[in-house]
Structure 1
Amino acid sequence: AAMDLLVPGVGEIIGGSQREERLDILEDTILRLGMDLKEYEWYNDLRRYGSVKHCGFGLGFERALMYMTGMTNIRDVIPYPRTPKSADF
């Protein structure tokens, strides 16, 4: 399962997904895609010997700031802006 939080005028603020924890589904998918099951044995072992359901998400900090402040350009809310070739070393 996956999700995205989209905001008009800003774009994607949050993206997340749930990992597949069912070993039989993982192995079937690997075989269906023509991949070598042995190459993923280390990963399958993580599921075989005690995995739990887990999810994750990422928050686009600058995009959330754009939404909260009403700014239209992401460059106006970047906390540490990058300007290539402008630093004196």
Structure 2
Amino acid sequence: MNINKLISQHLPIRLLPNESKIPWNDADFSQRMLENHLSQEHDWASRKLAVIERQVDWLCSQLGPGAQVLDLGCGPGFYTQLLAKRG
């Protein structure tokens, strides 16, 4: 999916029948947001694992032996997990 298509779709957040506004501080809502963020069934947030694997392949090809990578904690750790598996 390209970014223009994603922007033009403007899919509203689905609230539960008993919700009237986005309940950012509600644990159940946070759980639903996380599940969508980590889902591999759509491209709403995190990338598909196949894309991440290709990017990690490229990154590893650019790193020398014994290289270190700093993950600044800006996501769920998909890249770091794959990089750690490769040493």
> What range is the shorter-chain TM-score in?
under 0.3
**TM-score with structure 1 length normalisation?**
0.23
**TM-score with structure 2 length normalisation?**
0.23
Instruction: Name the structure with the higher helix share.
Output: 2
Pick 1 or 2: higher relative contact order, CA cutoff 8 A, min separation 6: 1
Which structure has the bigger radius of gyration? 1
